[in-house]
Amino acid sequence: MSSGLGTVIAKRSVSLSKTYPIFGIILAIVGLFLASSSGAVGNLSSNGIPASVTGTSSVELATSLPLVAVALQVLATILFATPVLLLYVYDKNNGALEYFLSLGMNQGDIYRQYLRAALILSSALVAFNVVIDLVAGLIEGTSGLLLLEVSGLIVAMALAAVSFGTLVMMSFSSLQKQRVGSNQPLGMVIGVFTILPAYLIAFAAPSIALEIDFLLAGLLASLSLLMYLASSRLISREKLLP
């Protein structure tokens, strides 16, 4: 049963709330437009600075905007996957998680399926962003190495941020008190805060922002893995009951 439950949860979450996916798509398009208008990191040299730019402010702007566009696409991915967390709170309040337990699923099975659903939704938007970025970069003549770096950054940071926010929200009951139709689950705020440094670094240190963003993505991935490994100790049957 649990093998296809993640896909079912993903479909149910979109049916429950279409607002966040719509906002996520809009924000992703804004990020893609920003990347395209700033060169989509095409016309950038290997260190992210266009060879034709000589003014310091122009260099910083040309380097910062593509990375801000990446951060926008990551935020769009978090919004796109938010319905899964809304559904988790909704199912908990309505006894659906207790029903899953009665069917023989354990706490870890339930957590993994909601995490899988969040990753299914986020992967769909990430794939859209990466394809558009690659196509735009190829049209503008961006180097293949830089295309791979930016695409890898989007994938790593977006999936890690979604995973971390989802696991944190599901692991702590204090972050699950908000109901659908009211304030949103507090765990999503954590996911949003994890990518704020990407915006700040893009302007504060544009020359090394790409490297720092990869370090941030690695940190988020490590935290997500630690949360996943520790989830068996954090999960209790009571946390899944209304």
The mean pLDDT value for 186-203 works out to 77
Higher pLDDT, 64 or 127: 127
State the pLDDT at residue 113.
92
Helices 144-171, 107-140: axis angle to 10 degrees equals 160
The mean pLDDT value for 182-186 works out to 59
Q: pTM value? A: 0.81
Give how far Cα 231 sits from Cα of 5, 70, 163, 187, Å. 19, 30, 12, 15
State the pLDDT at residue 171.
80
Q: How many CA atoms lie within 13 A of 31 on its CB side?
A: 27
Rounded Cα gap, residues 233 and 51, in angstroms: 53
State the pLDDT at residue 62.
53
Rounded Cα gap, residues 170 and 183, in angstroms: 16
The mean pLDDT value for 106-125 works out to 91
Tens of pLDDT along 19-34?
A: 889 999 999 888 888 7
State the pLDDT at residue 120.
95
| 176 pLDDT higher than 80 | no
Q: 127-131, 146-150, 152-156, 208-212: which has the minimum mean pLDDT?
A: 146-150
Taking the domains of the chain in order of start, what are their residue ranges? 2-240
Cα 26 to the center of its chain, rounded Å? 15
State the pLDDT at residue 42.
43
